[in-house]
Amino acid sequence: MVVLLAAPLGAVIGLVVGALGGGGGVLTVPVLVYLLGQSGQDATTGSVIIVGLTALAGAAARARDGSIDWRTAVAFGVIGGPAAVLGTALNRDVDQSVLLLAFAAVTVLAAGAMLVDTRRHAGEPRQAVAVRTRVSAKAVAVAAPIGFLTGFLGVGGGFLVVPALVIVLQMPMPTAIGTSLLVIGLNALTSFGARVGDLHVDWAVIAPFTITAVIACLAGKRLTERLPGHTLSTAFAVLLVLVGVFTGAQSLLSL
């Protein structure tokens, strides 16, 4: 039964990642834990694989249309990579309930910041040209903590990368989505490398989950092209709130 659920659930995750540039990890971890019965540690490892490969496929599709800020993505990857290794090391020593509560808290905080920023800038177009003149210093300030949380929480980091790109760097949502996908892929590769020596992966679940997620991610790109930036931002924030509240409630009940 669990194996049969993996493919359709992967399709949902992939659609979210492709359309919103993140959120796959914040959905994948609870899905693997609460619907597919995996432990917190195993779910975070599986999430890194699923979301990382899905994001790289999405980034490759977007590279052709110029919706990736390469300088910012590389800066996030280079700076966030070592921090992701540190977060991964800490992940192994933390109780599952604490891990999931931290996951829920960070998710809700990111959602709140995204909603506030979306309302504040409603109707104001964001100019990508202005971003590139300020990217370096601000990227350094946010890349390390995002990389750490990527390793610690077992997510690609898109649920933090997208708000950071939109709020801190004032990047237009379509560019933030493409850039986030590349950052997610880079961070996930680093985090996976740190886990290679201690892998616990149920490939009968993870493989079909990943395959359908990659396919659906490419379909999600088409959805992004048809929706305005503020709609995507709001949808992203609402998704984070729902997942964060659910995960937090479930974790508190299990204490």
Q: What is the mean pLDDT of residues 65-76?
A: 86
**Nearest in space to 51 (alpha carbons), one of 160, 169, 164, 189:** 189
- Hey, what are 176's tokens? 């933030």
- pLDDT, one tens digit per residue, over 23-56 is 676 788 888 888 888 887 788 888 888 988 998 9
Dihedral angle over CA of 200, 204, 207, 213, nearest 10: -110
- pLDDT, one tens digit per residue, over 177-212 is 889 889 888 878 877 887 777 777 888 899 999 999
Integer-rounded Cα radius of gyration of the chain:
16
Q: How far is CA 112 from the centre of its chain?
A: 16
* pTM over cut 0.85: no
**DSSP annotation of 165:** I
pLDDT of residue 131: 40
CA atoms within 13 A on the CB side of 95: 7
